[in-house]
Amino acid sequence: MAKKLYIGGIPYSSTDADLKAHFEQLGPVDSATIIMDKMTGRSKGFGFVEMTNDADADKAVETMNDTDFQGRKLTVSPARPQERRF
């Protein structure tokens, strides 16, 4: 089962492909998505990566958290389930 990770501190100029390539160093990535602002179309500076293997995801949290990515320090942690909004 894929494990979803929260990624914070993503540079605004980064793309989904950049993020995916960065995390593929540790193992197969199912998806990498940077969250975009609906009004401006600009990056919000955070996103999510789904790793194929749980072990690779755990390794990503341990090794990628607090490291440099394109000039900014990443925050990597397991993603929490999305809260229900009314």
Instruction: Quote the pTM value.
Output: 0.90
Per-residue model confidence (pLDDT) at position 81: 84
Residue 51 has pLDDT above 90, yes or no: yes
pLDDT exceeds 70 at position 1: no
Confirm if 48 and 57 have CB atoms less than 8 A apart: no
Chain segment 65-77, per-residue pLDDT in tens: 999 999 999 999 9
Specify the 3-state DSSP secondary structure of 20.
helix
The answer to whether residue 84 scores a pLDDT higher than 90 is no
Extract the runs of DSSP E, i.e. beta strands, from 1-86.
3-8, 29-36, 43-51, 68-69, 72-73, 75-78
Q: Which domains does the chain possess?
A: 3-78 (3.30.70.330)
75 bridge partner residues: 8
DSSP state of 54: H
* Cα–Cα–Cα angle for 79, 51, 49, rounded to 5 degrees: 50
* Lookup: tokens for 68: 């440099």
Q: Could you tell me which residue, 1 or 17, shows the higher pLDDT?
A: 17
